[in-house]
Amino acid sequence: PVDFLTDVILATKKVAVAYKPNLAFYEAAGESGWKLFYDTVSILKNECPECLIIADAKRGDVGNTAKFYAKAFFEKTPCDAITISPYMGEDSITPFTEYKDKATIVLCLTSNPGAPVLQMEGNPPLFHKTAEMVNGLNKKYKNLWMVVGATRDSDHIKTLRSISPEVPFLVPGIGAQGGDLEAVLKNAGNDVLINASRSILYASKSKEMVRISSEAAALEMIENIRKYL
C-alpha cells in the first residue's frame, strides 16, 4: 500500500494543493494501518511540504474527549486540518479551533445519499443552522471551514455561501460521485477546495500505470476547474 500511495503522491504533487487521507481505511487495518497513516503523512510532508494535509476523521464528541482528539491529530501528527461532525454542538468543535494554525472543517451539507434525512430537516433546515453556527465561530477563531457536497442542489450551495461568506468550503463529490463542478464554482465562489478522490486515486487498474493515470486524471481536473473560473 505505501508504494501505491507514494506513486499517487509523486504523480499529483505538482498540481495538488491538499491531500485528504481517510482515517477509516487506515484504522480498519489495525496497528499496521496506523503505521501506514503515519508513513503517508510523512511522505506528504517530505514530497509536498506546501500541501495541506487534511485528516478525514469526522470526529465528534463531548468537549473533554474532543480535546484529546484535537491533541492526537494536531500535536502528534503533521496534519494541518481535520474534518469533524457538529452534531454535539459548539463545545465539540471549539477544542479543535483553539489550535490557531490549524483548520477545523465541519460537516454541513454532505454528498452522501442519506444526508438529506437529517441535514435538510426542519424550518430552517439543520444545514442552515450548522452554517450559522460555523459562521459565528469563524468570526472569533478565523480557522473554520465547512464540507459542502457537490452533489447538492446549486440553490443550497448558494444559500450556504450567503450565510457564511468568509468560510472556505471543502467540496467533495466531484469525480466518481458525479457532482456538478460548474454549478459549485458558480454558486460557492472562489473560496473553495475541490476534492476529487477515487477518480484520481484509482484512475488505473494497472500497477504499472498508476503514476501516469493519476497524473492525467489530476491534470484533467485542474483544466476543468480553470474552465469555470
Nearest-angstrom CA–CA distance, 188 and 176: 20
The answer to whether residues 114 and 151 touch, using CB atoms and an 8 Å cutoff, is no
The answer to whether residues 185 and 146 touch, using CB atoms and an 8 Å cutoff, is no
Task: List, edge to edge, every strand of the sheet that includes 103-109.
Answer: 18-19, 52-59, 81-84, 103-109, 144-148, 169-171, 192-194
Tell me, yes or no, if 227 is annotated catalytic.
no
Q: Taking Cα atoms as reference points, which of 131, 55, 61, 132 lies closest to residue 93?
A: 61
Q: Taking Cα atoms as reference points, which of 59, 23, 17, 57 lies closest to residue 38?
A: 23
Q: What is the DSSP string of 125-183?
A: THHHHHHHHHHHHHHHHS-EEEEE-TTS-HHHHHHHHHH-TTS-EEE--SSTT---HHH
Backbone phi, then psi, for 8, in 5-degree steps? -65, -45
Catalytic site residue from 14, 35, 45, 58: 58
Q: What is the dihedral of CA 74, 76, 77, 82, to 10 degrees?
A: -30
Any idea what the Cα angle at residue 202 is, between residues 150 and 112, rounded to 5°? 30
Active-site annotation, residues:
58
